[in-house]
Amino acid sequence: MSNPASKNTINRLSDIMGNNIKECFPVLLDTVGLLSKIKSLIKETKNEDEIKIVNNQKDVLELRSSVLYAILEIAVALRADFRSDIAIEKRVNLKYLVFITSEFYKSTFMPEERANLWKKVSEYISSMNVDVINEINKINDGIKVYKDTYFNKDKDKRDIALHYDFNLDVLYNYIIEIGEEEEAQRVCAFLAVILKINELITSNMYLLHIKESFQNTFKNYESIEVKYEFETLKKRLYPMVGEKIQKFANLIDKNMKSYNITNNLSDDILSVLGVDGIDNIKGKRDYAKLGIISHYLYLDLGTALRCYLSSEYFIEKQLNLTRINLIIYEGYKKIYIPINKDSKSLWDQYVYSVLFSDGKGSLKTKIKSVELKLHDYKKDNTLVDANERHKYVHLRNHKKFTLPEFLDILLNLNPHNELNKSLLFMQLLSEIIKLNIESIDIKSEIESVTIRQQIMKPFNQIKSKISNSNIKEEDKQRMEESIDKIMNLFN
């Protein structure tokens, strides 16, 4: 294993990524602007040969804007990793790289059995300039290496990074196994491909009859008020959220040890418990599922918030705001929406059904309050809409290229609203965790009473037989007193 990078190296890499952000963002805006004009031409053009040319140009611009956007996202995620000195926060940022690279690969290099975006563009460019065929072959070799080394193995990781998982062991093992060195190698392999694609397109734009205007220069979109609020919140929230993240990471470790207690029991205890006893324990531990998943959501949301608060550039901040929005949406779904019509949500199973039937009045008041807040997310038009969610996640929706629409959403996100949403949801997660602890306590108490009754039953039967027997009264009394002493051990 190689030695960790020095602080100076990390700072230099962060500066390089920062320069990539400054250079790519205005070019991305310019490319998307050209793409809009090209689409208008397609509607106006009648000649079939001209339509074919314009469609080829559209493909080139879609690929170029996808590449530029991926470079931006990679740079933003890496800079967040570089800035953090909290191990769990670094891992949360690194897992986001899997999502970024997977989505780009799917939208650009798939389906493989038909002409995908990269194949269409590379064939078009090579038809205009045969000298680039060798370069295209090298890019194809890089794509194959990336596919075999990473993409083919990333399906589960990508799903967990975005959607989490109801299997807590899968969720936990993934987050603790993420390694900075491995993810750095992934990014290097990925950038080696897409930077060459970007260079190929850029150097051949004039041959493709695509005129760039470069009228978009990087400018500060933030008002003085937004800047002031940002700096104020950064001073107050950044260290506080960092402490919370570390605390929640420690709690996850502790909770997962308890969750997997049956894995650490001796063979003697396991044999006494038997299969039914072990299954019974595993069934009871599921009541901790909602609380533990809520801890993961808090980690992700807190990390995304700190990513925003430590960002330097406008687009860097806005990309982290979209990440905040997506985490809230996915978290709300995981907590409150059933997997299917035949199941109940985690909230219903492990909190509401327990506390509302067996909880005290004060708990019922709290649960009604949280239930109302969760229900309000169904009609919250500031949260990413289910129909719009694909734009936050996918570069394409079937054949439609959705990045231009997403950029419009991205550039218009209100920082004040998004930060307020994140803080409210983090508070809601804390309330849910506390209620989940209450439900576990109540469930344990109910089951303890049931178990005690089951233990007492044979002793009560013995006392009844003694009472109805023909033995002497003094012997009856002595025997019943002995049994009472045993029964008292379970009270």
Contacts of 190 (CB under 8 A, 6+ apart): 70, 74, 101, 104, 146, 150
Q: Against a cut of 0.75, is the pTM above it? A: yes
Query: For position 1, what pLDDT does the model report?
Result: 45
CA proximity to 310, closest of 235, 224, 410: 235
Chain segment 286-343, per-residue pLDDT in tens: 888 999 999 999 999 999 999 999 999 999 999 999 999 889 988 998 999 888 888 8
Residue 317 and residue 428 in one domain: yes
Inform me whether the pLDDT recorded for 233 exceeds 80: yes
Domain co-membership, 184 together with 318: no
- pLDDT at 116 (0 to 100): 93
Q: Is residue 314 part of a domain?
A: yes
pLDDT at 490 (0 to 100): 42
| 433 & 458 share domain | no
Tell me if 429 is assigned to some domain: yes
397 φ/ψ angles, rounded to the nearest 5 degrees: -115, 95
Domain final residue, candidates 203, 233, 267 = 203
Does residue 374 form part of some domain?
yes
Averaged confidence pLDDT in the chain: 84
CA distance linking residue 160 with residue 279, whole number of Å: 26
Q: What would the mean pLDDT of 463-477 be, rounded to a whole number?
A: 73
209 is a domain residue: no
Please report which residue ranges of 84-223 form alpha helices under DSSP H: 87-109, 117-128, 133-149, 155-163, 168-177, 180-203
Crossing angle of helices 314-336 and 289-309, in 10° steps, is 170
Number of domains the chain is built from:
3
119 with 237, same domain: the answer is: no
Question: Band of the pLDDT at 100, cuts 50, 70, 90?
Answer: very high
pLDDT digits (tens, 9 = 90+) for 167-199: 888 889 999 998 888 898 999 999 999 999 999
Please check whether residues 158 and 275 belong to one and the same domain: no
What is the chain's Cα-based Rg?
Answer: 29
Per-residue DSSP letter, 350: I
121 and 228 share a domain? no
Mean pLDDT of 437-441: 86
Within a domain: 218:
no
* More confident position, 448 or 30: 30
Continuous H helices in 286-313: 289-309
Is residue 219 domain-resident? no
Query: What's at 141, amino acid-wise?
Result: D
pLDDT per residue as tens digits for the range 353-371: 888 776 677 788 899 999 9
Q: Are residues 338 and 317 in the same domain?
A: yes
Domain co-membership, 336 together with 197 = no
Q: What is the mean pLDDT of residues 131-142?
A: 96
Q: How far apart are CA 348 and CA 327, in angstroms?
A: 21
Same domain, 333 and 423: yes
Of 410, 264, 238, 316, the C-alpha closest to 80 is: 316
Looking at mean pLDDT, say which of 113-122, 125-134, 337-346 comes out highest.
125-134
Report pLDDT digits (tens) over 39-77.
Answer: 888 777 778 888 888 899 999 999 999 999 999 999 999
How many alpha carbons fall within 13 Å on the CB side of residue 481? 6
Does residue 388 share a domain with residue 355? yes
Please tell me whether residues 238 and 187 are part of one structural domain. Answer: no
Instruction: Check residue 86 and give its pLDDT.
Output: 93
Q: Is residue 1 part of a domain?
A: no
Cα 466 to Cα 473: distance, rounded to the nearest angstrom: 10
Full domain range(s) for residue 431: 224-448
- Would you say residue 367 lies in a domain? yes
| Residue 208, pLDDT score | 79
Is the peptide bond between 111 and the residue preceding it cis, with omega within 30 degrees of 0?
yes
CA-CA distances (angstroms) from residue 313 to 17, 82, 247, 310?
Answer: 11, 15, 29, 10
Q: Are 411 and 283 part of one and the same domain?
A: yes
Percent of the chain with pLDDT over 70: 84
> Cβ(368)–Cβ(443) under 8 Å?
no
